[in-house]
Chains A and B, each alone.
Chain A
Amino acid sequence: MLALYCSYSYSEQIFGQTPNAAQNALNWSMSYLPAQAGLTVSDVIYKYTTVKDPASDMLVHVQNEDAVGEGYVFRDTEDWSGHAANTIRKLVPVPDIPIQRWGQGSIEIEGEGSVEDAVVIYNWKYDTCFDPQSDPNCPGYKPPVPEETIDIMEYIKDPLEDEYIQQELERETPSETEEEEEERKRFQEKLEQLDRVEKLLGGINASLVNANAKLKHDQLMALSTLPVVYYKVLEGRSYGDTLQYPEQTVPDNRRGLRVGLAQELLHQEMVESQYSN
């Protein structure tokens, strides 16, 4: 009987959203992101209202510096040059960028104009078992090594001290008498002789079997009693079309129009009366 023991391990995805990072100023730090191992940002939502002259040039960049390398880890630009001021609302997906790379965020303006009522929100997520050691239920969790020390010398034994090995070492091989030696030599010679006879007989038999078999095979093939291939011609037929619908036009039913139209109009009026529009 095989006893089955089931246990389960699981990890969970936690999703969340930061508050408005640009609520106080157009520059912000990324302290709004929870300090969680394995946290990544999946998209950035932003909204702002421009104040500008329609004819003026203006570029607005919503961006985050790369905290690890150079440049920006995220940068989205809207060109307002030649366009009237208005409010923009966008969601920009990013490829799950880890928290370590998200540096200082800002809304940068190039040209003439300003931005107000800015909102910048980051959608984030993390796996509760990003570090398997954080929870015994996580897959890949390894129980910690016990703290008590082990004296390894207790488990090491000298193999030469083993009782059975000692017995083997002490055992002596008995010496052979002259009679026994001659007996052994005679037996060995007999074995060699038998071996030579066997080899001789094997070679003769092999050649005999091969030649006989080949002759029989050639005789059978010469008789041509075995069919080489089976074939038969099957007579096929074809089915022709027998049924045809002649082409017709379906004329309008004038009597039906007279009778049905008035009722149709009334019905339509009744149906329409139940709707507001």
Chain B
Amino acid sequence: MYRALILLLLALPVQAHQFTPTYPELEQSFVPGVKYTKLKLYNKRKEIEFYEISVFDMDWNRVPFAITERVLRVPYLQTEEIEVYLKEKDSNKSLYICSKSKLLKGQGSVPAVASRICSKVRE
């Protein structure tokens, strides 16, 4: 079943967006009181180059976090590894870390689909 799925992705022209892992683990960073996690963003959408990273709690309220760039540039067929830093007091609850495609205004033909994938940090 999984083999059939993987071959489908290869055989057909696809414009896909991937964000893994599904359940990232928070680790202690070099700064006391701050935790971090690593995620991978893979862009297979030719018309999209920018993705925004955001963090929410279970009620979809924004949670403050630190990252090198909030809006990342991920060229077509490239994978970007990102590190998200969170306060330790925020990391004790379940959180969503999301990547959302950003569609530039004034682009020739604007695609109709904006994709957002959220990974979950479990408490």
Q: Which residues from chain A sit less than 8 Å from chain B, CB to CB?
A: 43, 45, 90-93, 247-250, 271, 274-277
Contact = CB atoms under 8 A, between A and B. Distances in A.
A275 B52 CA distance: 11
B102 A91 contact: no
Contacts of B58: none
A90 B71 CA distance: 36
A274 B104 contact: yes
- Name the 5 nearest CB pairs between A and B, nearest first: A276-B103, A275-B102, A277-B114, A91-B8, A276-B105
Contact of A277 (B32, B33, B103): B103
Contacts of B103: 275-277
A275 B114 CA distance: 11
Nearest to A275: B102
B4 A90 contact: yes
Contacts of B102: 275, 277
B14 interface: no
Interface string B7-37: 1100100000000000000000001110000
**Interface SS of chain B:** mixed
Given A249-B32, A250-B33, A275 B4 contact: no
A248 B114 CA distance: 43
Interface of B: 3-4, 7-8, 11, 31-33, 50, 71, 100-105, 110, 114
A61 B122 CA distance: 42
B7 A248 contact: no
Contacts of B11: 45, 91
A271 B71 contact: yes
Contacts of A91: 4, 7-8, 11
Nearest to B3: A93
Contacts of B3: 93
B113 to A, nearest CB: 10
A246 to B, nearest CB: 11
Given A90-B4, A93-B7, A275 B32 contact: no
B47 to A, nearest CB: 12
B71 A249 contact: no
Contacts of A271: 71
Contacts of B50: 275
Contacts of B104: 274-276
A250 B32 contact: yes
